[in-house]
Structure 1
Amino acid sequence: MMRSGTKRTSDNHATTSPKKVKVGTAAEGYDEKKHFEATYETLAKELLEDMKTYRLPANGLAWVEKMLNYTIPGGKMNRGLTVVSSLKSLKKRDLTEEELLHAEVLGWCVELLQAFFLISDDIMDSSVTRRGAPCWYRAEGVGMIAINDAFIVEATIYRLIKKYFRGHAFYADLLDLMHEVTYQTELGQLMDLITAPEDNVDLTRFSIEKYKYIVEFKTAYYSFYLPVALAMMLHGIPADSDSYKQALRVLLPLGEYFQAQDDYLDCFGSPEVIGKIGTDIEDNKCSWLVNQALPLCNAEQRKKLDENYGQRKPENVAVVKQVYAELDLEGLYRNYEEESHAKVMKLIEEIDEKVLPRDMFVTFVKRVYKRNK
């Protein structure tokens, strides 16, 4: 079994004499992202060592190592890095080595959760590429083994939490938070799938209300609330504190903006930049774009959407995009982006600085505002 992290956070990380690391500054020798990536290398090795205690054969270990390295690193890592930056904002000082390690471990737990969702989602959506490479299930020799791989990735989250936090007072709350957010995300995914099944296109099922539910539960909780809530827990804020509700007031609208942004990039972004080929139109997705188009289009445009949305042929996709162009959805999105940014920044200004630092949220906003991938 993996050991608790109360005395030593790992075999190589003693915590009796913590040193301070200038997290998020231009300190000599410190690069936030590179340091975070280096911690992944350590954690991946620890997870493989842990699997050896279950007598996993060499070819199984080799498979897991390849799978983890294919599906976990390489993304923007905004979710994981937000745990680190949020804890620094809460502490209002540089982090000690132990604090930094704990924040990075939980940051990677968020990234592992993200990978678990993406491996599964790519299969459900029959997606082709992810981060500029074939989706894991489309990699040579993988196929539906990817379903079990997704389960393994999810399980590694709790191996790490057990190792590093079992002896901490908030251990049960930490587990509860991870399970709660996972459950919320799966409910959002369910509504996404049954609202827009690929084999039964019916645009009358779509509505902005359903879209907002899907976005809140499928995206906002795990991508925006979870990283900040984890930092708050590390900082010692009790799980029943109203501070978490204050954080939600800002982070849920930010998550809604992020998903609308993602939907926009899926259609109008460059595959070379965003690292994947957008398939929301082909997949019959209940996206921000189609929900904006439906109440705006005339009878002829609506007929074109009904006949071409959710179809996989390039010519069908082209017809949908032409309707989007006629309705100037790009311009509509740019206005929405500015309005959403102003709304979120106003909510941040309303936060009581004595309860939560505003810069914690501003940092998050800067990471997603006007992103192009």
Structure 2
Amino acid sequence: MKHAVNYLFFIENMFSEYYTIGRYPVQGEFMVMAYEALNNDLTINDELINKLQVMVSTTEMVQSYFFIWDDLADNSTERGGKPCWHLLDDTGFIAFSDACIMRSFINEIIRQNFNGEMCANILSVYDKVYFVSSVGQYMEVEISRSRNYDNYNMELLTMLNNLKSSFYSIKSPLLLALALSNKLNKASYDVVDDVGLEIGALIQYHNDLLDFYNEKGAINVCKSSTDIQEGKFTWVATAFLENCNSEQRRIFLENFGSADPEKVKRIIEVYDEVDITKLYKQEQQKCFDAFNKKVSKLPKNSIPSPEFFKSFQNLIRYYSQDTKNFMYDKN
């Protein structure tokens, strides 16, 4: 039995590293930044360094876990400049099992390095990441599959992305920092949950924009994009539908959701006609305005503090600027 467990951990290390190693650790960076802001008088020792390393590693492994599922669902062929995990020899749909094992492996690493309430709180955050992200992914698939483009509106998209993206990309690193600092409670949770909503959604909007640029051939995000071909419910499609004229909408309905290269090209053309980049910049500003309004209403003794959120905004702004920086697929 012992040899079987050791072999399992060896195999797990192989596919947990496949997407994780070599990628810029964005969520890990957010978590460490928040932890430092929450603990002014840090005593750096081996125990703290180990805990931070464990948190950064597992946070990034959670992203890799979702990459396996996302690439399977999207029939993607490439990520990070190499074949998707499910396309490797003798993998295929076994990737589903690999992802399930990986999730358990992440939890086991947490249990081996933390205990008591801190361990329970960290696992609770991860469990919610798995749950809400899966619900968001399911909603996206069902809405996209319905081909009812009347549902492609910003209100529904914001609700979906609060589940699919906001909690994982923005809220969970901050909640994990609070858990590691023994400051996670209902009050601090509610602050993060409220303030992180709009900028969390913005991260997904930015990711959708990058997929559009990638489809145009303007950039290479190291991930094959199929948003147009699959008729996916994305910010780009939604922004277009809310800003197009009747003729542009007719072209959209005739061509969206097809793998025909000519139809994909036609969709890209009408997207450019409404100036998707300009619309994104307007959306970005709206998200930051809503974020700043919420931060301005926080009491000075809020945890996290208003000062932290203001500095955090600079980091988010850096990652969400057009195509200059990549949130998830940076080499």
1:340 matches 2:303? no
Aligned to 2:298: 351
Q: Which amino acid aligns with 2:27?
A: R
CA-CA distance at 1:338 after TM superposition:
2.7
Q: Which amino acid aligns with 1:261?
A: H
Question: Given the alignment, which residue of 162, 173, 177 partners 1:227?
Answer: 173
Work out whether residues 81 and 104 of structure 1, in 8 Å CA contact, stay in contact via their aligned partners in 2: no
Q: Report the 3-state secondary structure (helix = DSSP H, G, I; strand = E; otherwise coil) of the residue aligned with 2:242.
A: helix
Aligned to 2:253: 306
Gaps of at least 5 residues in structure 2 are 327-331
Q: Report the 3-state secondary structure (helix = DSSP H, G, I; strand = E; otherwise coil) of the residue aligned with 1:55.
A: helix
Q: Which amino acid aligns with 1:223?
A: S
Question: Given the alignment, which residue of 126, 134, 158 partners 1:212?
Answer: 158
Report the structure, 1 or 2, having the larger helix content: 2
Distance 1:101 1:62, change over 3 A: closer
1:75 matches 2:23? yes
Q: How does 1:136-215 map to 2 (within 5 A)?
A: 136-166=85-115, 168-197=116-145, 201-215=147-161
Aligned to 1:65: 13
Distance 2:219 2:277 in 1: 19
Answer with 97-106 or 207-216: which moved more: 97-106
Distance 1:304 1:260 in 2: 23
Q: Deviations over 1:54-73 (max 9, x none)?
A: 62475x66543331221222
CA-CA distance at 1:158 after TM superposition:
0.8
Aligned to 1:130: 79
Q: Deviations over 1:181-217 (max 9, x none)?
A: 32111111110111112xx634234222221121000
CA-CA distance at 1:230 after TM superposition:
0.9
CA-CA distance at 1:95 after TM superposition:
4.8
Q: Which amino acid aligns with 1:127?
A: S
Distance 1:54 1:368 in 2: 45
Aligned to 2:54: 105
CA-CA distance at 1:227 after TM superposition:
0.7
CA-CA distance at 1:273 after TM superposition:
4.2
1:321 matches 2:274? no
Distance 2:30 2:152 in 1: 33
Q: Report the 3-state secondary structure (helix = DSSP H, G, I; strand = E; otherwise coil) of the residue aligned with 1:237.
A: coil
Q: How many percent identity over aligned positions?
A: 25
Distance 1:104 1:364 in 2: 21
CA-CA distance at 1:363 after TM superposition:
4.5
CA-CA distance at 1:124 after TM superposition:
0.8
Q: How does 1:276-291 map to 2 (within 5 A)?
A: 276-291=223-238
Q: Which amino acid aligns with 1:215?
A: N
Aligned to 1:365: 313
Using CA pairs under 8 Å that are at least 6 residues apart, name the structure with larger relative contact order, 1 or 2.
2
CA-CA distance at 1:119 after TM superposition:
0.4
Work out whether residues 184 and 217 of structure 1, in 8 Å CA contact, stay in contact via their aligned partners in 2: yes
- Which structure has the larger Rg? 1
Work out whether residues 103 and 231 of structure 1, in 8 Å CA contact, stay in contact via their aligned partners in 2: no
CA-CA distance at 1:176 after TM superposition:
2.2
Distance 1:95 1:226 in 2: 24
Distance 1:139 1:361 in 2: 42
Distance 1:82 1:57, change over 3 A: closer
Q: Deviations over 1:145-192 (max 9, x none)?
A: 1111111111111111110112x3333233222212321111111101
Q: Report the 3-state secondary structure (helix = DSSP H, G, I; strand = E; otherwise coil) of the residue aligned with 1:143.
A: coil
CA-CA distance at 1:137 after TM superposition:
0.8
Aligned to 1:31: none
Distance 1:298 1:195, change over 3 A: same
CA-CA distance at 1:238 after TM superposition:
4.2
Q: Report the 3-state secondary structure (helix = DSSP H, G, I; strand = E; otherwise coil) of the residue aligned with 1:296.
A: coil
Work out whether residues 196 and 285 of structure 1, in 8 Å CA contact, stay in contact via their aligned partners in 2: yes
CA-CA distance at 1:364 after TM superposition:
3.6
Answer with 116-125 or 87-96: which moved more: 87-96
Work out whether residues 28 and 55 of structure 2, in 8 Å CA contact, stay in contact via their aligned partners in 1: yes
Q: Report the 3-state secondary structure (helix = DSSP H, G, I; strand = E; otherwise coil) of the residue aligned with 1:282.
A: coil
Distance 1:212 1:250 in 2: 14
Distance 1:101 1:281, change over 3 A: same
Work out whether residues 274 and 372 of structure 1, in 8 Å CA contact, stay in contact via their aligned partners in 2: no
CA-CA distance at 1:219 after TM superposition:
0.6
Distance 1:56 1:272, change over 3 A: farther
